[in-house]
Structure 1
Amino acid sequence: MSTPTVRRISECFVKPQSSNKICNLTPWDILSIKKYIHHCLLFKKPATLIDEHHFIQNLLEKLKHSLSLTLFHFYPLSGRLVTHKTQNPPSYTVSIDCNNSDGARFIHATLDMTIADILSPFDVPPIVQSFFDHHKAVNHDGHTVPLLSIQVTELVDGVIIGCSMNHSVGDGTSYWNFFNTWSQIFQAQSQSENHEYDVPISRQPIHNRWFPHNCSPPISLPFKHHDEFIEISERPLLRLRFFHFSAESIAKLKAKANSESNTTKISSFQSLSALVWRSITRARSPPSDQKTTFRFSADCRSRMKPPLAEEYFGNCVHAASAEATTRELLENGIGWAAWKLHVGVTDLNDRVVVEFLEWWLDSPFIGQTGGYFDPYSLLMGGSPRFNMYGCEFGMGKAVAVRSGIANKFDGKVSSYPGREGGGSINLEVCLSPQTMSALESDEEFMNAVTEFDPLLF
């Protein structure tokens, strides 16, 4: 029996009413991970549908219209990347042109599968990658393909809204601000008889991008051609799996970590991260003197002086990290590891970030994922603070959130809020098949994992 495939029904482009602007990229934007951000929300179709065709067509029209209204506020997402080059000396500048563009792509697709088919397997099934446009694109492709693409995939019993956003335009905070604003405008539009209802949004994006004081945009990169910095590599065989941790389980980890370290300063997320660091390192079985590094992808908005608003639209991320040998990590308890992570996070401040960016401006480069993350590193991305389940589009609260394969590698962990809220967390773990099997047999790790079935909601 053949595996069902996603079938595209139609596609079009959606533009805001006006977007005649140019946006320069900051060092953060240029340094961002090299692939698009991909997340999708899975919704159940309403239980009582008299005319399913009418429901889908009405949903699509409302989604497109509310998207156009949303792009008015988030106009960089409707643009394209443009490059200006000089040969002597070699200079390569990239910016966002919000004027000469078709806008954001909007796709309607169907798939003969159920929500249970997507969520029931332990591992994230490969079909999930088909819920996104540009799932193989790199950021530089934004010169010729949309910076934002929406794909609405109709299942037998559900609807999936997938969003692909060029990472050079914004980070996770910017991404979810856009998604939540789109939801807010959609719901206000649905509640109003006036199709052109002007929706006052709760979090107006701020497009005045931040540059170090000694930087005059646009930033000139020392390249002659994009082949000099675009990474093309074969993707290794990986397993992706979600693990759920209830608020009660995380509270126990936090209490144990703080007790072992004789402190009250270690956070819930640092405690959970310490568990992940220890457990995956144990599953990898490196030599006892092997150094292993745990990195957080940390939002710097509140760390800058003066701080940037949460509504700052763009990238504003820096890595906080901790390092230890395998012996240190595994012979000491979870409290020791959690304190190392706590210090790594608290040491990340405005001075550290600015000094790094000023150093980068002296010799700008675009790092490659493969060269940055060694086989013993871990990177924690995402955030359980993102309001993912607040995005509703007339179908109630999403059943689940899933992501694309872009920006995934052995040792990438992404954090999500648990659907039930209350401080619960879901972790999407990406590992080699051998390491994932060992992690699934790790007693310390699996004892903290909580059974949770999103299909019951």
Structure 2
Amino acid sequence: MTKWHQDEEEKMVSSLCCRLPNGMRRKMGGTQQNHILGDGTSFWNFFNSWAELSRGFHQPSTTPIHQRWFPGNTPCPIHLPPMTEPGARLRLSSPPFPERILHLSKQNIAKLKQKLNSQMGTTAISSLQSYMGHLWRSITRARNLDGNEDVHLFLGIGTRPRVHLPEGYWGNGLYFKKVTLKAGEVVGKGVGWVACQIKETVEKQSEEEVMKQYSNWLKSPALVGGELFSVNTVTISSSPWYNVYGTDFGWGKPVRVRSGGANKLDGKVTLFAGCEEGSVDIELSINPHTLHQLQNDSEFLEYVTIS
């Protein structure tokens, strides 16, 4: 437990396992980890290592490395600014926004990717960029915004491969990058163009750019704030590449994976691999009016199943 604010305490890690009632031979497990400890890669390395030890492994296949990495000769500890003003600490309570699971099959992802690359005369748009462009454009259209309004997409940029951190590094290796366009551009220029804007932003995140991001943060340290959930925003978290369905505690392969209720504000997107190989499940928290529009958008539903 760690003291955070006045008399409140928040758990750094907690877990719960339940056997489902009525004779069902299934178990349900949940684990939460505070982002102070690590990112999604750290979380799933921990969860899969725990599962391996439960199955009788003598040691996990990915050895955790607890030596924290900082760029250059960074003096430690790094002192964050005091949070003394009312509301200085970001609080994201559960709002009355509905949540839905958007499923994309392997076949539909391939069709969408092929369509977008064909539109733009390239082969460089990835599957992830394809369905993120499709989702962002569809949400922007469903929000029925003025064409001159700014719309934002926040992407989590993984820094581990960019600064050559070892596979088992335990900590946070990411930052968020914002893509800002006009609503009229996103809706009017086509999903292939939108995916290309995402692609260009990701390609700019070189090792040099990562070091620049970290150096700027060290000059003025700050916590990730409410900008991620500002108006007309879609925020992407998690990754379809995490090994979520390999987490076997000896009970068999997981049936479904879902995230908890934290940070579920308007436009929050959580990515997971789907149960079927090559598919993707997208958890979407969204304004009810926007959701209604999405559920009646034939162009959006051509590739996506909503549940």
Give TM-score, length-normalised by structure 2.
0.92
1:365 aligns with 2:233: no
Letter in 2 for 1:254: K
8 A Cα contact 1:142 1:166, kept in partner: no
The CA deviation at 1:211 is: 1.0
Distance of aligned partners of 1:244 and 1:222 in 2 relative to their CA distance in 1, 3 Å threshold:
closer
The CA deviation at 1:258 is: 0.7
Q: State, as a whole percentage, how many aligned pairs show the same letter.
A: 36
> 2:279 maps to which residue?
424
Give per-residue Cα distances to partners, 1:66-85, cap 9 Å, x unaligned.
xxxxxxxxxxxxxx447xxx
Unaligned runs of 5+ in 2: none
> 2:268 maps to which residue?
412
1:255 aligns with 2:114: yes
Residue among 151, 167, 171 paired with 2:16: 151
- Structure 1 distance, partners of 2:157, 2:101, is 21
Give per-residue Cα distances to partners, 1:285-335, cap 9 Å, x unaligned.
11011111212112110111xx11222111111223422211111111221
Distance of aligned partners of 1:149 and 1:297 in 2 relative to their CA distance in 1, 3 Å threshold:
same
**Which stretch shifts more, 245-254 or 205-214?**
205-214
SS in 1 for 2:161: helix
1:286 aligns with 2:145: yes
Letter in 2 for 1:257: L
Distance of aligned partners of 1:229 and 1:249 in 2 relative to their CA distance in 1, 3 Å threshold:
same
8 A Cα contact 1:270 1:338, kept in partner: yes
> 1:347 maps to which residue?
204
The CA deviation at 1:408 is: 1.7
- Structure 2 distance, partners of 1:228, 1:274, is 34
8 A Cα contact 1:260 1:335, kept in partner: yes
SS in 2 for 1:210: coil
> 1:317 maps to which residue?
174
Residue among 356, 361, 364 paired with 2:213: 356
1:246 aligns with 2:114: no
Distance of aligned partners of 1:319 and 1:234 in 2 relative to their CA distance in 1, 3 Å threshold:
closer
Letter in 2 for 1:331: G
> 2:259 maps to which residue?
403
8 A Cα contact 2:92 2:262, kept in partner: no
SS in 2 for 1:152: strand
The CA deviation at 1:226 is: 8.7
Q: Which has the higher contact order (CA 8 A, sep 6+)?
A: 2
The CA deviation at 1:276 is: 0.3
- Structure 1 distance, partners of 2:113, 2:71, is 37
Distance of aligned partners of 1:310 and 1:227 in 2 relative to their CA distance in 1, 3 Å threshold:
farther
> 1:441 maps to which residue?
296
8 A Cα contact 1:229 1:366, kept in partner: no
SS in 2 for 1:241: strand
The CA deviation at 1:365 is: 2.2
RMSD, aligned α-carbons: 2.2
Q: How many residues align?
A: 304
- Structure 1 distance, partners of 2:92, 2:109, is 37
- Structure 2 distance, partners of 1:207, 1:254, is 39
> 2:188 maps to which residue?
331
The CA deviation at 1:383 is: 0.7
SS in 1 for 2:242: coil
- Structure 1 distance, partners of 2:5, 2:42, is 19
Map of 1:130-279 to 2, 5 A cutoff?
144-156=9-21, 157=24, 158-188=26-56, 199-223=58-82, 225=84, 229-232=88-91, 235-279=94-138
Distance of aligned partners of 1:248 and 1:315 in 2 relative to their CA distance in 1, 3 Å threshold:
same
> 1:28 maps to which residue?
none
Give TM-score, length-normalised by structure 1.
0.63
